[in-house]
């Protein structure tokens, strides 16, 4: 393989962010739980600190892999990853007050850029985080600032937007700025589904239901709402990279399209909206958006899922990722991560015989789309 391998889905909780989490007592936060007071746990997902859960089911143990960039480089070396595009992990800056968010975004984005410059030039790039609880002006100013930071290649954000989702018209100035600056939006879930859907025995099943199903469905709903509200009709050049191969979007796109085509209320509403772009015949289809505006990571752990992603968006729009530091091996001392091996195997099974497609998914697509240079 001659093309460098690029990981576009790999997170960090930089030291300044860890300090912030350690200073808090409501989700998200970091603390120890008796009887084990020697190791801290990271509590980030809704419902994770339910006191009825055993302490070992609350959050996840948090060690240096989460915040020490040397561990990231060691992980890259162990898994033959040449370049990583690091991103702040969930829940980003969503929980900060309006006053705190702007300065925190500047500090953390500057830190991330400096980490890329100092620790491993040519091996690290980054997606910045937006201060979405601040005013629109502050968010738009941070987008312009990010564009000037040499290692930034886009932004990462969740599905809550300004608090009411990604179909909120108040996001339009932010979408306009991201489109104008040509910054890729890495869209990542965090909030999942209401915990009630997991049922009364959810605590017995660890994190399986929220991570395997809640995360992908959250992404699918968020992107479908963007589509229904006409985000890509108004911003035809807005480019998004969807985590976890688009949730279930490639699989459900046909159903979404069919439900739109059969929804009399929606058709009438759009026909009467007075907005020519929203008139039924001008609406862009899910398939069109998938193939022109959507990139998908290859973090889906199976050949079948990956084939669906490739069929939906094209092999030139799918990019390798690991989700490091999440999903580490359960056994201590295992250096090769099962989660990473599974993703590599899925890529080879899906496109392995077509070497150029495999090289694209493993790194070539990210290098082309994000303008990366390997030292
Ligand atoms: O294990 C988890 O909770 C997570 C998470 O929070 N975010 C992520 O990207 N992957 C796994």
Q: Kindly state if the Cβ of 45 falls inside 6 Å of ligand 1.
A: yes
Q: CA–CA distance from 219 to each of 23, 189, 360 (Å)?
A: 30, 6, 24
**Ligand 1 centroid – CA 326 distance (Å):** 6
pLDDT at residue 276 in the model:
58
Q: Kindly state if the Cβ of 90 falls inside 6 Å of ligand 1.
A: yes
Identify the burial level of 6 via C-beta atoms within 10 angstroms of its C-beta, where 0-12 means exposed, 13-18 middle and 19 or more buried: buried
Q: Kindly state if the Cβ of 44 falls inside 6 Å of ligand 1.
A: yes
How many residues are there in the chain? 375
What is the C-alpha to C-alpha distance for residues 257 and 291, in angstroms, rounded to an integer? Answer: 14
**Ligand 1 centroid – CA 169 distance (Å):** 28
What is the C-alpha to C-alpha distance for residues 151 and 121, in angstroms, rounded to an integer? Answer: 9
**Ligand 1 centroid – CA 271 distance (Å):** 41
**Ligand 1 centroid – CA 272 distance (Å):** 42
Nearby residues of 274 by Cβ (< 8 Å), 6 or more positions away: none
**Ligand 1 centroid – CA 369 distance (Å):** 25
The 10 Å Cβ neighbour count of residue 56 is 12
Domains and CATH numbers, the chain: 6-13+69-370 (3.20.20.140)
Nearest CA to ligand 1 atom 1: 326
Nearest CA to ligand 1 atom 11: 326
Name the residue of 326, 327, 328, 340 whose CB sits within 8 Å of the most ligand 1 atoms, as the mutation to test its pocket. Answer: 326
Both tokens assigned to 120: 């491993």
User: Helix H segments across the chain?
Assistant: 15-22, 69-78, 98-119, 136-148, 172-180, 208, 215-228, 231-234, 249-261, 264-271, 286-292, 303-313, 338-351, 355-359, 365-370
Q: What is the ipTM of this complex?
A: 0.94
**Ligand 1 centroid – CA 12 distance (Å):** 11
Bridge partners, residue 83, by sequence: 6
Q: Kindly state if the Cβ of 211 falls inside 6 Å of ligand 1.
A: yes
Both tokens assigned to 83: 């370049």
Report helix, strand or coil for 3.
Answer: coil
Q: Kindly state if the Cβ of 27 falls inside 6 Å of ligand 1.
A: no
Nearby residues of 211 by Cβ (< 8 Å), 6 or more positions away: none
What is the C-alpha to C-alpha distance for residues 172 and 178, in angstroms, rounded to an integer? Answer: 10
Q: CA–CA distance from 124 to each of 143, 279, 296 (Å)?
A: 20, 44, 20
What is the C-alpha to C-alpha distance for residues 178 and 251, in angstroms, rounded to an integer? Answer: 28
Whose tokens are 């809550």? That residue is 160
Q: Kindly state if the Cβ of 142 falls inside 6 Å of ligand 1.
A: no
Nearest CA to ligand 1 atom 10: 326
**Ligand 1 centroid – CA 235 distance (Å):** 30
Both tokens assigned to 148: 């000037």
The whole-number mean pLDDT for each consecutive block of 10 residues of the chain, a chain of 375 residues, reads 94 94 94 84 87 77 94 97 98 97 97 92 95 98 98 98 98 98 98 94 90 98 97 97 98 97 87 62 88 98 98 98 96 92 97 93 98 90
Name the residue of 8, 29, 211, 324 whose CB sits within 8 Å of the most ligand 1 atoms, as the mutation to test its pocket. Answer: 211
């Amino acid at each position: 393989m001659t093309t460098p391998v690029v990981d576009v889905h790999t997170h960090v909780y930089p030291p300044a962010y860890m300090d912030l989490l350690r200073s808090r007592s409501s989700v998200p936060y970091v603390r120890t739980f008796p009887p084990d007071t020697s190791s801290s746990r990271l509590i980030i997902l809704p419902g994770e600190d339910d006191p009825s859960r055993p302490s070992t089911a609350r959050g996840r143990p948090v060690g240096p892999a989460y915040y020490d960039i040397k561990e990231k480089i060691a992980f890259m070396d162990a898994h033959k990853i040449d370049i990583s595009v690091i991103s702040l992990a969930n829940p980003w800056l969503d929980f900060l007050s309006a006053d705190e968010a702007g300065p925190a975004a500047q500090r953390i984005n500057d830190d991330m850029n400096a980490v890329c410059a100092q620790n491993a030039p040519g091996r690290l790039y980054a997606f910045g985080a937006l201060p979405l609880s601040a005013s629109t002006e502050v968010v738009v100013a941070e987008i312009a600032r990010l564009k000037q930071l040499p290692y930034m290649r886009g932004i990462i954000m969740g599905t809550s937007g300004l608090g009411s989702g990604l179909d909120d018209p108040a996001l339009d100035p932010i979408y306009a700025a991201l489109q104008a600056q040509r910054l890729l939006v890495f869209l990542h879930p965090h909030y999942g589904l209401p915990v009630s859907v997991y049922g009364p025995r959810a605590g017995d099943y660890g994190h399986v239901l929220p991570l395997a199903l809640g995360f992908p469905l959250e992404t699918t709903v968020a992107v479908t709402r963007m589509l229904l509200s006409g985000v890509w009709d108004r911003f035809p050049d807005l480019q998004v990279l969807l985590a976890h191969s688009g949730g279930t979007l490639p699989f459900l796109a046909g159903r979404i399209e069919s439900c739109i085509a059969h929804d009399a209320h929606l058709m009438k509403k759009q026909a009467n909206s007075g907005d020519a772009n929203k008139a039924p015949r001008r609406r862009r289809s899910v398939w069109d958006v998938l193939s022109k505006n959507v990139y998908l990571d290859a973090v889906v752990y199976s050949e079948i899922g990956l084939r669906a992603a490739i069929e939906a968006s094209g092999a030139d729009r799918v990019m390798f990722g690991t989700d490091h530091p999440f999903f580490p091996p359960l056994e201590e001392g295992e250096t090769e991560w099962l989660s990473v091996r599974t993703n590599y195997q899925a890529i080879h099974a899906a496109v392995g015989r077509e070497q150029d497609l495999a090289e694209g998914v493993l790194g070539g697509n990210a290098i082309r789309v994000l303008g990366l240079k390997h030292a």
